[in-house]
A and B are shown apart, each in its own frame.
Chain A
Amino acid sequence: MQLTDRELWTLIHGMGLGALFLLAFGGGLAGFYSLRPEWLTTAGIRERIARLDVGTVVMAVVAWLTVITGTWIIYPWYRAAPPEGTTDLEAYPRSYLLANENLADWHHFGMEWKEHIAWIAPYLATVVAFGAVYYGRRLAYEPAVRRLLMWVFIAAFAVAGIAGLFGALITKAAPIL
C-alpha cells in the first residue's frame, strides 16, 4: 500500500485541501445563517463570529492552496507529453485520454472546465473571509450583508464542487501514477 510522490500530491490536493474546503462549507453556511441577534445572546454572537472569522479565513487559504497545488504541481504531470514512440500512455494522462475516443471528452470538457473554473473559488472565498473579518460582530445586525456573503459562499462551494467532481472522475479515468 505505497503511494508514489505524484499520487501523494494528488491526494493532498484533492482529498486533503479540496475535500476540506467542501466539507467545511456546511459549518460555515450554518454559521452565517444562524448569526441573528434574535436567536443568540451577545456572548453567543461573539463566540460565533470568532469561529466564523477563523473558519472563513482558513477556507480561503485552503482554496488558494488547492488551486495552486493543482495548477503548479499536479497539472504539469497531467499534461506532460509522452516521448515520441511511446505506446503505453498510462503515465501521460492527458495523452491517454485523448488517444481514446470514448475518454477524450474527459479532457476536452472535464479537465478544460475544471482547470479554469476552479480558480474562481479562491476569489469568492476571499470575499467571504474579508466580509466576516471586516464586519465582525456587526455582521449579526446586517442581514443584507450576511445574505450576500452566504450567496457568495454558496457560489464558491458550487465552483469548487464542479472542479472537485471532475477531478475525482478524471483521476478515476486516468490516474496520475
Chain B
Amino acid sequence: MVVSTERVDTVVIERDSLDGDEVALAKPDGPLAAVLLAAGIGAFALGLFTTLAEASAGFRERLVLNAAVGPLSGKTVWATVVFVIAWVVLHVMWRERDRILRSATTAFVVLTLLGLLGTFPIFFQAFAPE
C-alpha cells in the first residue's frame, strides 16, 4: 500500500482508521509561524543590542541591569523580552491563520542570520569607536 506523505487538507467526516487508530486532523500553521518568527525577532534584537552597545558607550551603560554581569545583562534580558512579546502578539494575531509558515520561515531565516552577524565579534567590534 503506498502511503502519501504530503499534507492532506480534508475535513474528517468519518473516522479514518489506520490500524485501529485515527489520523490526526490538520492544524493551522499560524501558531508555529508565530513562535518561529518571534525567535528570529529575538535573535535579531540580540544582535542589534550587541552591535549598538559596542558603538555607543551611553547605550552600553543603559544596558547594565546588574553591575556584576555588565551590559550582557541588558542585552540578554531585553532580547528575551522582545522574543516573548513578539511571540504573544504574533500568536494572538495568527492562531487561526494557515498557509503562512513559508513566509514566516523566510523572515525567520533573514532575521536570525542578521542576529548571528550582530553577535559575531569581528562584526560588532568593527563598530567600536576608535
Contacts and interface: CB of A to CB of B under 8 A. Distances in A.
A153 interface: no
Contacts of A75: 69, 72
B3 interface: yes
Contact of A109 (B27, B83, B116, B121): B121
Interface in B75-110: 75-76, 79-80, 83, 101, 105
Contacts of B69: 71-72, 75-76, 79
A143 interface: yes
Nearest to B39: A123
Given A71-B73, A130-B32, A138-B25, A116 B5 contact: no
Q: Bin chain A's interface residue count.
A: 35 or more
Interface of A: 36-38, 41-43, 46, 67, 71-72, 75-76, 79-80, 108-109, 112-113, 115-117, 119-120, 123-124, 126-127, 130-131, 134-138, 141-145, 148, 152, 155, 159
Contact of B120 (A72, A80, A113, A143): A113
Contact of A126 (B21, B39, B47, B72): B39
Contacts of A36: 5
Nearest to A149: B32
A50 to B, nearest CB: 13
Of the candidates A119, A131, A137, the one having the most CB atoms from chain B within 10 angstroms of its own CB is: A119
A42 B26 contact: no
A116 B3 contact: no
Given A36-B5, A38-B5, A134 B32 contact: yes
Contacts of A41: 19
A78 B24 CA distance: 50
